[in-house]
């Protein structure tokens, strides 16, 4: 039998005691991604830097010194900026208008080193200690993507 993989978006309930750490992490992640994008940006596609290794070599130490982000979050911010810069380079190569990526709002790209999944909660890396957040699941999961998963013996 073939394995079925399904992605489900789940809201997280972060306890009030973790709000400050998570908010600070969002802001520092945004700053880190912006720092990398600022370094790599050029209106000339021949001078725009999108290679992760070059961006890493040029920005990693400074971002670590300027933020309280752990290494994996710094790398995720760099990867986010590199992807945005690559998209800009593609547009510039096609003689299309674009501008330097600007990171606004709240985004963090978590990976296997920065988030731990459990049956009823996750733990998230922050600029301080890890924060535990419980899943917010629908009370009535009938007709939702949760119905099949949560009714199985997992």
pLDDT score of 125 = 97
- Residue 37 is classified by DSSP as H
> What average pLDDT does the segment 98-109 reach?
93
Residue 142 has pLDDT above 80, yes or no: no
Is residue 8 within 8 A of residue 146, CB to CB? The reply is yes
Instruction: State pLDDT tens for residues 42-97.
Output: 988 899 999 999 999 999 999 999 999 999 999 999 999 999 999 999 999 999 99
Q: What is the pLDDT of residue 126?
A: 97
Q: Domain segments of the chain: what residues?
A: 12-151
Helix (H) or strand (E) holding 124: strand 121-124
pLDDT-derived band at 141, boundaries 50, 70, 90: low
Q: What are φ and ψ of residue 135, in 5° steps?
A: -70, 140
The mean pLDDT of the chain is 90
Tell me the two tokens of residue 74: 């710094």
Using CA of residue 117, residue 22, residue 125, residue 74, what is the dihedral sign? positive
pLDDT at position 4 is 74
**Does residue 150 register a pLDDT over 60?**
no
Q: Which pLDDT band holds residue 105 (cuts at 50, 70, 90)? A: confident
For residue range 27-37, list pLDDT tens digits in order. Answer: 999 999 999 99
| Higher per-residue pLDDT: 25 or 151 | 25
Q: 43-52 long-range CB contacts below 8 Å, 24 or more apart?
A: 43/92, 44/92, 45/89, 45/92, 45/93, 48/85, 48/88, 48/89, 48/92, 49/85, 50/82, 50/85, 50/86, 50/88, 50/89, 51/82, 52/78, 52/79, 52/82
pLDDT at 154: 45
Asked if 51 and 115 count as a contact pair (C-beta separation under 8 A), the reply is no
Given CA atoms 121, 125, 130, 131 in this order, what sign does their dihedral have? negative
Half-sphere exposure for 150 (CA within 13 Å, toward CB): 17
In this prediction the pTM is 0.85
């Amino acid at each position: 039998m073939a394995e079925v993989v399904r992605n489900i978006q789940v809201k997280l309930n972060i306890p009030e005691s973790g709000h400050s750490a998570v908010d600070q992490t969002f802001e520092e992640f945004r700053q880190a991604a912006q720092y990398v994008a600022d370094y790599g940006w050029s209106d000339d596609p021949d001078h725009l830097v999108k290679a992760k290794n070059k961006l890493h070599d040029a920005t990693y130490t400074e971002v670590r010194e300027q933020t309280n982000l752990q290494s994996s979050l710094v790398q995720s911010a760099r990867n986010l900026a590199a992807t945005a810069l690559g998209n800009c380079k593609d547009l510039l190569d096609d003689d299309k208008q674009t501008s330097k990526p600007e990171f606004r709002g709240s985004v963090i790209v978590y990976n296997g080193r920065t988030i731990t999944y459990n049956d009823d909660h996750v733990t998230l890396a922050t600029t301080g200690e890890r924060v535990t957040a419980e899943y917010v699941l629908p009370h009535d999961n009938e007709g939702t993507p949760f119905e099949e998963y949560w009714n199985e013996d997992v």
